[in-house]
Amino acid sequence: MSQFFQTVEGGLPPAVPTSIVTDVGTAVAQNHVLNVNGDTGVVVSVDPDGSNNIIVSINEIIPTYTDVVNPNIDHSAYVFIANTTDDYYISVDTTLGPVTIKFPDSGSVPVPPSNSQFVVKDRTGTASTYNITIESENGLATIENNVSYIFVDSYESLECIYHNNNYEIF
């Protein structure tokens, strides 16, 4: 957890706001604590101990690791459907055959929130033999404005963010 302390010189102004309008609704302070943006882990404490301090606490969100292994000994393709709740870093083993990773799109339940991120990695270095293909679950989203993205190099990785029904690679 990180904290930022700012002392307000001369005391707090007489009209300290008790709520802030955010992109996810209005946040209202309770017991001097203002949870600014729900699940992001950002909390603002306004003068909690009478010291005229404003404290911003940021609780780090730990990304998840998902292990995807093609179990098909006949080298047929394996499909894995990713979700924004449980899958962030997707480590793929294509030793036994190709793998298709399907990212959620506007037809998925739940619909992925804007700015959802995924990282996909060819951890075994076999994507040049058995490709890893990235596409959207229902064909409604694109990857860099293409229908799919195919790993062709060994140990390749991809990091992307969901925005306006497109996964942008960065």
Give tens-digit pLDDT for 140-149.
999 999 999 9
User: Percent of the chain, pLDDT > 90?
Assistant: 55
What's the pTM? 0.66
Strands in the chain per DSSP E: 2-7, 19-22, 25-28, 33-35, 42-46, 53-58, 65-69, 78-81, 89-93, 99-103, 117-122, 132-136, 142-143, 148-151, 157-163, 166-169
CATH match of 65-169 with 2.60.120.640: yes
Residue 94 has pLDDT above 80, yes or no: yes
How many helices and strands, by DSSP H and E, does the chain display? Answer: 0, 16
Which pLDDT score, from 0 to 100, does residue 56 have?
A: 66
Best-predicted range by mean pLDDT among 55-59, 113-117, 139-143?
139-143
Which 8-state DSSP code applies to residue 30?
Answer: B
The position carrying tokens 């990235």 is 134
> Domain spans of the chain?
2-58, 65-169
Average pLDDT over residues 60-89: 89
Residue 151 has pLDDT above 80, yes or no: yes
Which pLDDT score, from 0 to 100, does residue 86 have?
A: 85
